[in-house]
Amino acid sequence: MDVCDEDKSNDDVQELSFGGKFLNLFSELERCGEIVQKQKIEEMNEIIDGMNKVEWKSVFKTELFDEIHTMVKEKKMSMENAILLLKHAGYCKALKNVWNPCFDSSSLNKRFEKMIVKEEKKEKEEKKEKLIIDLCECYISLSYDFPHESLSICMPCLLKVALNKEENKETQKEAEIALLALASLGFNV
């Protein structure tokens, strides 16, 4: 019996180390240039892979999403780097089946909603397809409460990505992320 308890406490220490490592790297992001920042985010994404549900929820709180929003707003992080982190976080959230509505109350959620609607209203020539796809994937995979306008833009966008049958690895991964985001709608609506 004591052996099991020891193993459990070692698991708890391991869990805490994932969150600590992630938050330490996150705290360094605003002092880095874009290239180094991207490398740190890739490290953070690897750490996210190792997190369980409890660890994921302990890290991805409203305050973290608000801090990402502030960093993007103050140009301390590019939107591209924020999306790199958030897309992977949402993907892992869906894979791990984590219930965590913290994103919904964040300022980043509101920013994404506005950006999705604004991008969709642009003329076809001006639209940034990759940006709207990335925003929709992040938004849907991290949210639980969807305004009709955002949902009516994201659903067709994600379905289009999911139906893309190109054979390259990156496109396959994008289709998988889009399908996971769509699958999470059933639990969230």
Nearest partner of 144 among 183, 184, 171, 116, judged by Cα: 184
Spell out the per-residue pLDDT of the chain, length 189, in tens.
333 333 334 444 444 479 899 999 999 999 999 999 999 999 999 999 999 999 999 999 999 999 999 999 999 999 999 999 999 999 999 888 898 899 999 999 999 999 999 999 998 888 899 999 999 999 999 998 888 888 889 988 888 887 776 667 777 777 778 877 777 665 544
On the CB side of 42, CA atoms within 13 Å amount to: 6
* Token pair belonging to 27: 């705290």
Nearest partner of 109 among 30, 53, 52, 188, judged by Cα: 188
Cα first-last separation, the chain: 43
Residue range of the domain that includes 100? 2-188
C-alpha 187, offset from chain centre: 17
In angstroms, the CA 172 to CA 166 distance is: 7
